[in-house]
C-alpha cells in the first residue's frame, strides 16, 4: 500500500491520503465534520434500521425482507440532487424528508404500503456532524410517519453536488399493483389535494420578494412548506388499489403527468375544475402567468387516478374516509390529446410542457 501511494504521488503530486478511495473523509476527531465513513454509518444511519431484523444493523451488503404468500413486493427509486430538487442550504431535516417522501408518493400511486428503503448518500465532502445529525433526525421522523425503515445502501464521496438516492420497497396483495397505464375511455380522472403549490413555493424560495404585498405571510409559509415538505397520499393507497384502473403521482407537471395517465386517450380538462389552494388563487389573481406554474410546475406529489365509472362512487366514499380531498376533473374519451380549456372553451397552451431533466 505504501509503495502504491508513493507511485500515485509521483503521478499526482497534489494527491492527499484523504483523496484515496476507501480512506476516511476526515482525520480531525475534534472537528465539526465526521471522522470516517464508519462514524457516519454507525452513528447516524444504523439507528434508522432498528427494529428491522433483515437489515442486520447495516453490517451486510444486502438485506432480507420476509413476505407472506399472496404478497407482491413493489420497488421504486427516485433520487434528489442539490441544485436540481432542493437548495444546498435547505434544512437537512427537510432535505431528508423530501428524499423519502417523493419515493413514498410512488408507493401510494401503486396502491402499495411502504416497507423499507435503501439509501445512497453521495457527499461532496465530509458532512458536519450537526448537518448529518439533523438529516438523520429528519429521516427518522419521515420513516416513522410513513411506516418504513432503512435497511441498507451506501455512502460515497463525490466531486459533484450532494446526491441522495432512495430505493423504496413496498407491498401489495398479489395482483393488486396499480399501473401507470391501463385507463380506458369512460374512466373518471381524480386529482388529490391542490395543484401548483410546490411550484409557487419554489418560486418564492428563489425570490422571496415575489408577489410582495399580494400574498399574506401565511400564504407564503403555506406555499414554501408545500415545496419543502411534500405530503405523499399514503392513506389513499388502499382505495387506489381497490378501485383504480391506473394512477401516478404529479411530479413533472399536471399536463405532462395527465398525458402519461391518459396514454392513447384524450381528456378535455377545464382549468376552472383544477383544485387550487386559496394561496395559489391569490397568486393567480396577482399574475395570470401563475397559470403556467399550475399546469406545468410539478413537485406537488399529488395523485392522478383513473377509476371506472362503475367504481367512481365507491372510490369517492373510500377517499372520504381518509380525509384526503379528491376531485373528479373529467372523463377520458377516445381522443388522442389532453387539452386544457378556459371558461370560454378556448384551449390553453402552457409555455412549458412540464419538467424534463434533459430538455433545453
- The answer to whether 37 and 155 have CB atoms below 8 angstroms apart is yes
Q: Which of the residue ranges 12-16, 179-183, 222-226, 277-281 would you say has the lowest mean pLDDT?
A: 12-16
End-to-end CA distance of the chain: 47
253 marked ligand binding residue: no
197 marked ligand binding residue: no
Local confidence band at 346 (pLDDT 50, 70, 90 cut-offs): very high
342 marked ligand binding residue: no
From CA 194, how far away is CA 219, in angstroms rounded?
A: 14
What per-residue confidence (pLDDT) applies to 18?
30
Q: 3-state SS string over 267-336? A: EEEEHHHCCCCHHHHHHHHHCCCHHHHHHHCCCCCCEEEEECCCCHHHHHHHHHHHCCCEEEEEECECCC
How much of the chain, in percent, has pLDDT values that exceed 70?
88
Average pLDDT over residues 55-59: 80
Average pLDDT over residues 168-192: 92
76 marked ligand binding residue: yes
180 marked ligand binding residue: yes
- The answer to whether 99 and 166 have CB atoms below 8 angstroms apart is yes
From CA 277, how far away is CA 285, in angstroms rounded?
A: 12
Average pLDDT over residues 337-356: 84
H-helix segments, the chain: 2-11, 37-39, 92-109, 129-146, 197-206, 217-228, 237-243, 254-262, 278-286, 290-296, 312-322
Whether residue 305 has pLDDT greater than 80 = yes
What per-residue confidence (pLDDT) applies to 19?
32
Tens digits of residue pLDDT in 33-51:
888 777 888 888 899 989 8
Q: Report the predicted TM-score, pTM, of the whole model to 2 decimal places.
A: 0.84
CATH homologous superfamily for 23-173? PurM-like, N-terminal domain (3.30.1330.10)
252 marked ligand binding residue: yes
From CA 91, how far away is CA 141, in angstroms rounded?
A: 14
Whether residue 23 has pLDDT greater than 70 = no
78 marked ligand binding residue: yes
- The answer to whether 272 and 343 have CB atoms below 8 angstroms apart is yes
Tens digits of residue pLDDT in 306-344:
999 999 999 999 999 999 999 999 999 998 889 999 999
What per-residue confidence (pLDDT) applies to 117?
96
What per-residue confidence (pLDDT) applies to 28?
52
The residues pairing with 172 across neighbouring beta strands, listed in sequence order, are: 72
Q: How buried is 243 (Cβ within 10 angstroms: 0-12 exposed, 13-18 middle, 19+ buried)?
A: buried
From CA 305, how far away is CA 258, in angstroms rounded?
A: 9
156 marked ligand binding residue: no
Average pLDDT over residues 112-141: 95
Local confidence band at 352 (pLDDT 50, 70, 90 cut-offs): confident
Whether residue 22 has pLDDT greater than 90 = no
Residues 6+ apart with CB under 8 A from 277: 194, 196, 197, 222
153 marked ligand binding residue: yes
Local confidence band at 60 (pLDDT 50, 70, 90 cut-offs): low
Intrachain domains 23-173 and 188-348 with the same fold: no
Pick the CATH number of 188-348 from 3.90.180.10, 3.90.650.10, 3.20.20.60, 3.30.470.10: 3.90.650.10
Residue of 170, 164, 153 whose CA lies nearest to 71: 170
Average pLDDT over residues 105-128: 94
What per-residue confidence (pLDDT) applies to 26?
42
How much of the chain, in percent, has pLDDT values that exceed 90?
67
- Buried b / exposed e over 99-129, threshold 16 CB at 10 Å, is bbbbbbbbbbbbbbbbbbbbbbbbbeebbeb
User: How are beta strands 113-123 and 163-173 bridged, if at all?
Assistant: antiparallel
Average pLDDT over residues 145-164: 94
77 marked ligand binding residue: yes
DSSP-assigned letter for residue 236: G
Residues 6+ apart with CB under 8 A from 298: 198, 199, 250, 251, 252, 253, 254, 256, 257, 354, 355
- The answer to whether 36 and 122 have CB atoms below 8 angstroms apart is no
Residue spans per domain, the chain: 23-173, 188-348
Whether residue 258 has pLDDT greater than 70 = yes
154 marked ligand binding residue: yes
Residue of 204, 315, 300, 288 whose CA lies nearest to 255: 300
- Phi/psi for 86 (5° steps) reads -155, 165
- The answer to whether 26 and 35 have CB atoms below 8 angstroms apart is yes
Amino acid at each position: 500500500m505504501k509503495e502504491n501511494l508513493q507511485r500515485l504521488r509521483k503521478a499526482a503530486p497534489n494527491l492527499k491520503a484523504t483523496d484515496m478511495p476507501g480512506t476516511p473523509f476526515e482525520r480531525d476527531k475534534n472537528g465539526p465534520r465526521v471522522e470516517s465513513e464508519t462514524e457516519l454509518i454507525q452513528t447516524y444511519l444504523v439507528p434508522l434500521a432498528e427494529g428491522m431484523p433483515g437489515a442486520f444493523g447495516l453490517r451486510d451488503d444486502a438485506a432480507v425482507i420476509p413476505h407472506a404468500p399472496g404478497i407482491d413486493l413493489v420497488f421504486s427509486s427516485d433520487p434528489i440532487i442539490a441544485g436540481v430538487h432542493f437548495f444546498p442550504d435547505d434544512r437537512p431535516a427537510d432535505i431528508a424528508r423530501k428524499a423519502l417522501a417523493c419515493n413514498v408518493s410512488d408507493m401510494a400511486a401503486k396502491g402499495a404500503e411502504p416497507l423499507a428503503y435503501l439509501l445512497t448518500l453521495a457527499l461532496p465532502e465530509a458532512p458536519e456532524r450537526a448537518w448529518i445529525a439533523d438529516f438523520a433526525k429528519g429521516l427518522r421522523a419521515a420513516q416513522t410517519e410513513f411506516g418504513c425503515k432503512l435497511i441498507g445502501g451506501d455512502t460515497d464521496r463525490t466531486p459533484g453536488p450532494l446526491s441522495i438516492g432512495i430505493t423504496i420497497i413496498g407491498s401489495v396483495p398479489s395482483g393488486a399493483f396499480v399501473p401507470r397505464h391501463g385507463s380506458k375511455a369512460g374512466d373518471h380522472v381524480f386529482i388529490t389535494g391542490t395543484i401548483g403549490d410546490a411550484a409557487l413555493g419554489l418560486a418564492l424560495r428563489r425570490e422571496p420578494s415575489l408577489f410582495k404585498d399580494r400574498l399574506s405571510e401565511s400564504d407564503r409559509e403555506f406555499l414554501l412548506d408545500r415545496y419543502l415538505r411534500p405530503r405523499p397520499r399514503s392513506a389513499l393507497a388502499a382505495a387506489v388499489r381497490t378501485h383504480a384502473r391506473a394512477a401516478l403521482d404529479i411530479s413533472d407537471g399536471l399536463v405532462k403527468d395527465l398525458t402519461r395517465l391518459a396514454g392513447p386517450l384524450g381528456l378535455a380538462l377545464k382549468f376552472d375544475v383544477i383544485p387550487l389552494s386559496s394561496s395559489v388563487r391569490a397568486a393567480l389573481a396577482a399574475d395570470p402567468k401563475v397559470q403556467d406554474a399550475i399546469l406545468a410546475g410539478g413537485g406537488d406529489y399529488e395523485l392522478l387516478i383513473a377509476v371506472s365509472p362503475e367504481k367512481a362512487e365507491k372510490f369517492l366514499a373510500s377517499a372520504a374516509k381518509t380525509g384526503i380531498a379528491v376531485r373528479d376533473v373529467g372523463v377520458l374519451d377516445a381522443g388522442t390529446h389532453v387539452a386544457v380549456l378556459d371558461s370560454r372553451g378556448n384551449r390553453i397552451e402552457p409555455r412549458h410542457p412540464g419538467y424534463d431533466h434533459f430538455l433545453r
